[in-house]
Amino acid sequence: MSEESDSLRTSPSVASLSENELPPPSAPAGYVCSLTEDLVAKAREELQEKPEWRLRDVQALRDMVRKECPNLSTSLEDAFLLRFLRARKFDYDRALQLLINYHSCRRSWPEVFNNLRPSALKEVLASGFLTVLPHTDPRGCHVLCLRPDRWIPSNYPITENIRAIYLTLEKLIQSEETQVNGIVILADYKGVSLSKASHFGPFIAKKVIGILQDGFPIRIKAVHVVNEPRIFKGIFAIIKPFLKEKIANRFFLHGSDLNSLHTNLPRNILPREYGGTAGELDITAWNAVLLASEEDFVREFCQPGPPCDSILGQALPPEGLSSEVPCDDSMRAMKSQLYSCY
């Protein structure tokens, strides 16, 4: 490991301490690493995670939260804080900012995050709008499959779909393997019409992308889009300005060319609907996983909390996550982009 990689572990608040002077490791939640030897090696190489320093790093982040954000109502358990350290390659300052953003996002969009539990989203789950494939890709990434054509706008607002996505991400990130490997998104835009696409305007796009890029501790390794109609050019034109270059470069548009998809996601992990050999697409297994986690989500998302100001102080949500109403000009521009694709 290079000296540069090791230096990522220091921040202004702890830089003056030598390694021996850092607070001693603490394990209030009795953390036990569940990673295999191969994943431990992968985390060391890609995330700068050293097993011998892991609890020390967690304690350093915990102390930063207590010192710099004493009013932040957050879990300080080892396993929870590790998610943020891994997502930011054990850079203490960036991990702390991600943790602040995570809570700020939740409080700035109550329509999505209040009462977030599987039983409140049974209709979305039953529609087949999203599921997680049973097999991981060759890199160990879970594949989140999205099918917007399954959504009927007259049944419920688009925010219910976003709630279901966030619910799924929260469940996935509980796994240490996912924290290290990341996830892949497979989005099937077959049958998405202009009227349906218009629900995903700049206001929604900025908020969702703000959460995924700067407000949630998950690594998105690739986004594969299939069966996209011409209208997707308009959708992507709305999304792209808000994407960081690294994420934008991980978008792959395959159209109806499943052979192109198979160069990235092998057929043996894909259902028949996408030219795979893993049987029919089954949404019931993942739905059952989520519904079995009801108590966890009730405990995390359905309890009354203190006012936002007392928790976040001067912290602001990431760009795009303010609760401002979209202006007429931006909506007109969005509709113009969509119509131009026809």
Residue 101 sits in the same domain as residue 151: no
Residue 119 sits in the same domain as residue 254: yes
- pLDDT score recorded for residue 196: 85
- pLDDT score recorded for residue 24: 42
d(CA 163, CA 119): 12
pTM score of the predicted model:
0.82
Q: Give residue 325's pLDDT band: very low, low, confident or very high (50, 70, 90).
A: very low
Q: Which of 72, 93, 108 lies at the terminal end of a domain, its last residue?
A: 108
Residue 281 sits in the same domain as residue 164: yes
What is the CATH classification number for the domain harbouring 89?
1.10.8.20
Q: Is residue 16 part of a domain?
A: no
Q: Is residue 127 part of a domain?
A: yes
Residue 146 sits in the same domain as residue 233: yes
Residue 202 sits in the same domain as residue 293: yes
What is the CATH classification number for the domain harbouring 160?
3.40.525.10
Residue 203 is part of which domain span?
A: 115-299
Domain count for the chain: 2
Q: Is residue 49 part of a domain?
A: yes
Residue 60 sits in the same domain as residue 81: yes
Residue 59 sits in the same domain as residue 147: no
The three-state DSSP-derived secondary structure of the chain is CCHHHHHCCCCCCCCCCCHHHCCCCCCCCCCCCCCCHHHHHHHHHHHCCCHHHHHHHHHHHHHHHHHHCCCCCCCCCHHHHHHHHHHCCCCHHHHHHHHHHHHHHHHHCHHHHCCCCHHHHHHHHHHCCEEECCCCCCCCCEEEEECHHHCCCCCCCHHHHHHHHHHHHHHHCCCHHHHHHCEEEEEECCCCCHHHHCCCCHHHHHHHHHHHHHCCCCCEEEEEEECCCCHHHHHHHHHHHHCCHHHHCCEEEEECCHHHHHCCCCHHHCCHHHCCCCCCCCCHHHHHHHHCCHHHHHHHHCCCCCCHHHHHCCCCCCCCCCCCCCCHHHHHHHHHHHHCCC
Q: Which of 66, 88, 108 lies at the terminal end of a domain, its last residue?
A: 108
Residue 66 sits in the same domain as residue 139: no
pLDDT exceeds cutoff 80 at 62: yes
- pLDDT score recorded for residue 137: 97
pLDDT digits (tens, 9 = 90+) for 219-272: 999 999 999 988 787 778 878 888 999 999 999 999 999 999 999 999 999 999
- pLDDT score recorded for residue 337: 45
Residue 155 sits in the same domain as residue 203: yes
Residue 93 sits in the same domain as residue 212: no
- pLDDT score recorded for residue 306: 53
Residue 158 sits in the same domain as residue 292: yes
